[in-house]
């Protein structure tokens, strides 16, 4: 397998992306391609290539909101992997919205060219996103907690997934099932029905406040 000269994961805010429409084109194109590719094995169950995850820039930026964080990897100037983290607002029906907090990892995509697959690019994105979110939580705790002790902080990560497409994938990466629901035709372009699962992963860290 040929070696690649890929960038380190790069973080972008929604504000960064709004000023770079060409990059937004590349991001939404990459995600839409991956969205279609993930359903090709069951064409009788899912709508075809005409259905896009993000038909325009506005739908992607709306998903990010003001606080979202995007992590990307590039091959030269071409984006080849991307993932987003946005504040968790509960499941598909907003269940848990009032009692659950944390961040949802979503819109994860890797370029379909064989040279980019099975390279661990998505794992690099998750790791970088997790580090960023832990850093955010550390900063918040530093401004809200009293000095004088070591405390344990946490960040909850959430995934909303179709069990039949990538439920097993996320479990292998440390996520556990919180709940599931059967979704009928029309949800996420499904022509029949599927099990939607809510998965969670808890990150913990120690913060020394004794300075």
Q: What is the mean pLDDT of the chain?
A: 91
Q: Please write the tens of the pLDDT for every residue from 183-198.
A: 999 898 899 999 999 9
Domain architecture of the chain: domains with CATH: 10-208 (3.40.630.30)
For the chain, give me the number of helices (H) and strands (E)?
A: 5, 7
60 neighbors 28 (Cβ within 8 angstroms) = yes
DSSP 3-state assignment of 130?
helix
Check pLDDT > 70 for residue 98: yes
DSSP H helices in 75-197 = 121-144, 168-172
Check pLDDT > 60 for residue 69: yes
- The residue with greater pLDDT, 146 or 43, is 43
Q: Provide the pairing of β-strand 103-110 with 150-162.
A: parallel
Tell me the backbone φ, ψ of residue 60, rounded to 5 degrees: -70, -45
Q: What's the CA angle centered on 63, arms 59 and 67, to 5 degrees?
A: 135
Gap between the Cα atoms of 82 and 135, Å rounded: 20
Gap between the Cα atoms of 64 and 87, Å rounded: 9
């Amino acid at each position: 397998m040929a070696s690649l000269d890929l960038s380190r994961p790069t973080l972008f805010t929604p504000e960064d992306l709004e000023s770079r429409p060409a990059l937004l084109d590349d991001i939404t194109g990459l995600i839409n391609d991956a969205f279609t590719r993930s359903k090709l094995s069951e064409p009788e169950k899912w709508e075809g290539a005409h259905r896009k995850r993000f038909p325009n820039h506005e739908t992607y930026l709306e998903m990010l909101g003001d606080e979202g964080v995007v992590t990307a990897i590039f091959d030269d100037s071409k984006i080849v992997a991307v993932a987003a983290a946005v504040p968790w607002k509960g499941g598909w029906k907003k269940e848990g919205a009032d009692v659950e907090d944390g961040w949802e990892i979503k819109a994860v995509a890797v370029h379909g060219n064989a040279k980019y697959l099975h390279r661990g690019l998505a794992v690099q994105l998750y790791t970088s996103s997790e580090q960023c979110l832990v850093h955010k939580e550390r900063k918040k705790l530093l401004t809200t907690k009293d000095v004088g002790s070591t405390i344990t902080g946490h960040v909850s990560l959430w995934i909303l997934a179709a069990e039949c497409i990538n439920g097993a994938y996320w479990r292998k990466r440390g996520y556990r099932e919180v709940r599931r629901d059967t979704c009928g035709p029309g949800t996420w372009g499904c022509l029949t029905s599927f099990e939607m699962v809510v998965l969670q992963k808890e990150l913990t860290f120690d913060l020394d406040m004794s300075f």
